[in-house]
Amino acid sequence: MKTLLSTKIISDRQKKLICDKQIKLIDKDFISISKTVFDIANKCINWIFTSKNAVNMVLQSEYKRLINFDEINFFCVGKNTRDLIIKSGAKKTKMAKNSIKLANLIQKTTNKCHFTYFRGSIKNKEFSDFFKKNKIPLNEVQVYKTQLKPKKIKNEIDGIMFFSPSGIKSFKLKNEIGNVPCFSIGDTTSEYLTKFTSNIHTAKNPSIENVIKLAVQHLTNE
């Protein structure tokens, strides 16, 4: 029986995708997310979200009642992030598969407007530097803190599912990837994985379910 490691705890519904596949699942949270105190001081109508975590933190804050979903232009990374924003009431959204593609999209579709970028504590320097280089005004607002929770995995692993660069960083603190197949949620995570391995399989559409399906397909066809 193959053993598949998930670097985040998945739901019972998601675990059903692995049932009866002769695969043993080990799922552990390698990172934790906590809310931080933040302020939305300016009146910028161009908002950037590169993760669902950032969207949720803003929607759970006191500022939700002040959001004019008809007026704000939302720029986001990934279908799931966009779907959450639309579900919340957004009317104007643009999406890209990763942060650099989003930055290029913003550059092509805007005229040096001001942007507010809601992010976690681990800064995407390449993304921020793109705005500086192209002289696009960017206000960065940290809305959550990411804490690494590294764990030593003693089991022999046949595949690893990664859902963020932070999860990779945490895993690497106490483990080696070697040549174990890695299953990634998207381009940004896959790009970070290239620092440690070339055995990378990326979900065509970024979702936890698609990563699981990709891993199951690979491990059952070996």
Q: What is the pLDDT of residue 111?
A: 67
pLDDT-derived band at 124 (thresholds 50, 70, 90) equals confident
Q: Same domain for 182 and 138?
A: no
In a domain, 22, yes or no: yes
Residue 155: CB atoms within 10 A of its CB come to 9
Gyration radius (Cα) of the chain, Å: 18
Look at residues 146, 172, 205 and tell me which one is the last residue of a structural domain: 146
In a domain, 36, yes or no: no
Output the domain CATH number for residue 203: 3.40.50.10090
Q: Same domain for 127 and 157?
A: no
Full domain range(s) for residue 213: 2-31+148-221
Number of domains observed in the structure of the chain: 2
Q: What is the pLDDT of residue 116?
A: 94
Q: What is the pLDDT of residue 120?
A: 94
pLDDT-derived band at 18 (thresholds 50, 70, 90) equals very high
Over residues 71-83, the pLDDT tens digits come to 999 999 988 899 9
Instruction: List Cβ neighbours of 64 (8 Å cut-off, separation of 6 or more).
Output: 58
In a domain, 25, yes or no: yes
Q: What is the pLDDT of residue 11?
A: 95
Over residues 130-175, the pLDDT tens digits come to 999 999 999 999 999 999 999 999 999 999 999 999 999 999 999 9
How many angstroms separate the CA atoms of 166 and 149, rounded?
10
DSSP string, 96-136: ESSHHHHHHHHHHH-SS--EEEEEESS--HHHHHHHHHTT-
Q: Same domain for 118 and 210?
A: no
In a domain, 37, yes or no: no
Look at residues 146, 163, 187 and tell me which one is the last residue of a structural domain: 146
In a domain, 154, yes or no: yes
Q: Same domain for 78 and 11?
A: no
pLDDT at 4 over 90: yes
In a domain, 179, yes or no: yes
Q: Same domain for 69 and 135?
A: yes
What pTM did the predictor assign? 0.84
pLDDT-derived band at 112 (thresholds 50, 70, 90) equals low
Q: Same domain for 85 and 138?
A: yes
Q: Same domain for 142 and 156?
A: no
